[in-house]
Chains A and B, each alone.
Chain A
């Protein structure tokens, strides 16, 4: 049974989110303001925090920063702002995923399930079989096979793939990926990231134009779905 804290000022949105989560057997606590949310997060220690970015008393981004000072629980951000830069800022600040308003119940539940699953499976995944069954990755032995044939990845391609697998099912921003794979001070290498993602797709995806694992979050970053 998972505990979810929902910080959202609009009661009708709280209502349907609560209904959806309870239908999945979650225990839901609600907070209307950032201050109450921070307070409740400290008391309840929820397994997941769902946070609206547009709270009346404080900027949601600040709340994420304060939470991340002591809490590691996944944070799912709800954003009514139309600009991608707000989502990027929330993710860079430490949020794990986002949903743009408006969103459907199934979309919400898919994100919640993915975040809670990752919470339980805490140790790093080292062996992965992609859902279509053709591709297997062993991170410790650095071997990748596709239809039992070895796939050769360059060091950067391999680093990129491992980073994505370690953070599967969550959005990594361009900046986060550049920092993880190329190191600090390479934020001007956006085109390298684009090129290497393209190469990985051509090596791993059945149809590189319509990827099923290495998904684009346009204007924000990438999401790896196993």
Chain B
């Protein structure tokens, strides 16, 4: 289209066209006036006003309305070529004609305006839809903000920046060399969760609008828009729509990331578990052969088939292999516990039973010591993982046995104290050297001492006790000797109903 009515509507050209239309209608009607009634000429003028309102808008239509009445009076009402009116009745005609023309102009122009606005909104909606479609395929936040920025560049007089939190939760703009606003302002909007509008200082009617990117679950960042004056009001709904589309896209990416991280974590846990269990298996297989073969030799020695010296060597071999097994088990368990993926198999059971099984396991190591057990008759059941707690007690007892001279007493006790169960292993040996550093992995009591052990023992004890919700304390007693005590929460044991049947004779 060479001539744009829409453009004409904006300028003075519209009025000129309206005037021309009125003049044209007069020229068209003049030769016909001899044949047709004056009422029909009025109809022609009203038709012209209607067309002008439709095409050129309200202002030109009002001009055309007045011009129509004036021209009708001048050319078609007696006396011709004069504004004077012979018949006073025509004054009513003029008034009605003017009123109808103006009403027509107003209604048509309003309709037209609504249609135009609807068209614009449709365009906006289409563009927003297209933007949303593009955003749904994005994989990074910078792609999202790029698409939004490209979209807003189409709107005249608008500039924008996006402030999004990074992994360290600091706000930053992505690939934006000249960002609007600053991180402080963005942070303020993010914490308040409400838009902030700043009218520009430069006096050019510029405004900075900061919109929080409000997604369903959280505020995902801040959009800052600089607008030239009056655009601000007209585009507000559009900007809000862009902000929420960006917010939703960023939130989607956030959850994609979260899901991905969870998957990676699960996968690495699975891998770690399988590495640990195959390591455990791979270590145990040769150790089993070593222990068994050395044992076979030692037994042959007992039967006299081997010189005593060699039989002794075989026994030492077996003992060292068993010790190595213990260390490997400790190491693997500590790894499992310290990464926190070994689930506790807690059950309600008696501490007495664990004392018994630990003492039975350690019977050879404790053979040279005087072991005393202090156990109140009525201890409630406690909830714990028996295998792990047995390890704690074994390690503490073993520690005590290794660091005290043969023949001394080792006391294993349990009692209730301050709503907790307290289990303690006390000896009267030399006590712990460098206390605070103990119970960290790989810290041993005294340098490279002759006592075997990695220093792993106490670290495992601590990890197990903490996993049960208790604490482990190491102390040197005033009376001499060391005390290792740990607590276990009491909790509420499950119900127990006594039976009622007849006892055996």
A interface residues with partner B (beta carbon < 8 Å): 10, 12-13, 15-17, 19-20, 23, 54, 78, 80-85, 101-106, 108, 142-144, 150-156, 158, 190-192, 194-195, 197-198, 208-211, 215-216, 218-219
Check if B251 is an interface residue, CB within 8 A of chain A: no
Kindly specify which of B105-113, B147-155, B208-216, B285-293 makes contact with the partner chain.
B285-293
Between-chain CB contacts (< 8 Å), 15 pairs: A10-B285, A54-B281, A80-B280, A82-B280, A82-B284, A102-B321, A105-B296, A143-B505, A151-B504, A154-B499, A190-B348, A195-B350, A208-B352, A209-B359, A210-B359
Other-chain contact of A17, B284, B292, B387, B496 (Cβ < 8 Å): B292
The total number of A-B Cβ pairs within 8 Å is: 145
Check if B493 is an interface residue, CB within 8 A of chain A: yes
Instruction: Tell whether, in the assembled complex, residue B290 and residue A198 are in contact, meaning their CB atoms are under 8 Å apart.
Output: no
State whether A82 and B329 are in contact (beta carbons under 8 Å apart), knowing that A12-B293, A143-B505, A218-B386 are contacts in the complex. yes
Check if B354 is an interface residue, CB within 8 A of chain A: yes
State whether A19 and B296 are in contact (beta carbons under 8 Å apart), knowing that A80-B284, A82-B332, A191-B496 are contacts in the complex. yes
| Best-surrounded residue of B375, B381, B504 (most CB of chain A within 10 A) | B504
- Tell me the complex Cα distance, A198–B356, Å: 11
Other-chain contact of B505, A20, A150, A219 (Cβ < 8 Å): A150
CB under 8 Å from chain A, chain B span 277-313:
277, 280-281, 284-293, 295-296, 299
The residues of B that contact A54 with a CB separation of less than 8 Å are 281
- For the complex with contacts A103-B291, A190-B349, A219-B386, 18 further pairs of A-B residues with Cβ separation under 8 Å are A12-B286, A15-B289, A54-B281, A80-B281, A81-B280, A82-B284, A102-B292, A105-B296, A152-B504, A152-B505, A155-B502, A191-B348, A191-B381, A195-B496, A198-B353, A209-B352, A210-B356, A215-B357
Instruction: Tell whether, in the assembled complex, residue A103 and residue B288 are in contact, meaning their CB atoms are under 8 Å apart.
Output: yes
Check if B177 is an interface residue, CB within 8 A of chain A: no
- Tell me the complex Cα distance, A19–B292, Å: 10
The residues of A that contact B436 with a CB separation of less than 8 Å are none
Other-chain contact of B350, A80, A143, A198 (Cβ < 8 Å): A198
The residues of B that contact A16 with a CB separation of less than 8 Å are 289, 292-293, 295-296
B256, chain A: closest CB distance, angstroms: 35
The residues of A that contact B390 with a CB separation of less than 8 Å are 218
Instruction: Please classify the interface of chain B as helix (H, G, I), strand (E, B), loop, or mixed, using the class held by over half of its residues.
Output: helix
State whether A190 and B347 are in contact (beta carbons under 8 Å apart), knowing that A104-B295, A105-B296, A218-B390 are contacts in the complex. yes
Check if B419 is an interface residue, CB within 8 A of chain A: no
Instruction: Tell whether, in the assembled complex, residue A104 and residue B292 are in contact, meaning their CB atoms are under 8 Å apart.
Output: yes
Check if B494 is an interface residue, CB within 8 A of chain A: yes
| Best-surrounded residue of B292, B502, B503 (most CB of chain A within 10 A) | B292
- Tell me the complex Cα distance, A144–B499, Å: 19
Instruction: Tell whether, in the assembled complex, residue A209 and residue B373 are in contact, meaning their CB atoms are under 8 Å apart.
Output: yes
CB under 8 Å from chain A, chain B span 318-374:
318, 321-322, 325, 329, 332-333, 345, 347-350, 352-357, 359-360, 373
Check if B501 is an interface residue, CB within 8 A of chain A: yes
CB under 8 Å from chain A, chain B span 231-289:
277, 280-281, 284-289
Instruction: Tell whether, in the assembled complex, residue A191 and residue B356 are in contact, meaning their CB atoms are under 8 Å apart.
Output: no
The residues of A that contact B296 with a CB separation of less than 8 Å are 16, 19-20, 105
- Tell me the complex Cα distance, A10–B329, Å: 21
| Proximity string of chain B (131-161) to chain A, C-beta cutoff 8 Å, 1 when within and 0 when not | 0000000000000000000000000000000
Instruction: Tell whether, in the assembled complex, residue A216 and residue B356 are in contact, meaning their CB atoms are under 8 Å apart.
Output: yes
Instruction: Tell whether, in the assembled complex, residue B493 and residue A191 are in contact, meaning their CB atoms are under 8 Å apart.
Output: yes
The residues of B that contact A12 with a CB separation of less than 8 Å are 286, 289, 292-293
Instruction: Tell whether, in the assembled complex, residue A198 and residue B280 are in contact, meaning their CB atoms are under 8 Å apart.
Output: no
Instruction: Tell whether, in the assembled complex, residue B321 and residue A197 are in contact, meaning their CB atoms are under 8 Å apart.
Output: no
- Tell me the complex Cα distance, A156–B290, Å: 45
Instruction: Tell whether, in the assembled complex, residue A104 and residue B318 are in contact, meaning their CB atoms are under 8 Å apart.
Output: yes
Closest to B391 in A: A218
- Tell me the complex Cα distance, A82–B276, Å: 10
The residues of A that contact B501 with a CB separation of less than 8 Å are 154-156
- Tell me the complex Cα distance, A102–B280, Å: 11
The residues of B that contact A209 with a CB separation of less than 8 Å are 352, 355-356, 359, 373, 375
B498, chain A: closest CB distance, angstroms: 9
Closest to A99 in B: B288
Instruction: Tell whether, in the assembled complex, residue B504 and residue A158 are in contact, meaning their CB atoms are under 8 Å apart.
Output: yes
Instruction: Tell whether, in the assembled complex, residue B295 and residue A211 are in contact, meaning their CB atoms are under 8 Å apart.
Output: no
B434, chain A: closest CB distance, angstroms: 31
State whether A142 and B502 are in contact (beta carbons under 8 Å apart), knowing that A16-B296, A101-B285, A194-B349 are contacts in the complex. no
B390, chain A: closest CB distance, angstroms: 5
Instruction: Tell whether, in the assembled complex, residue A101 and residue B284 are in contact, meaning their CB atoms are under 8 Å apart.
Output: yes
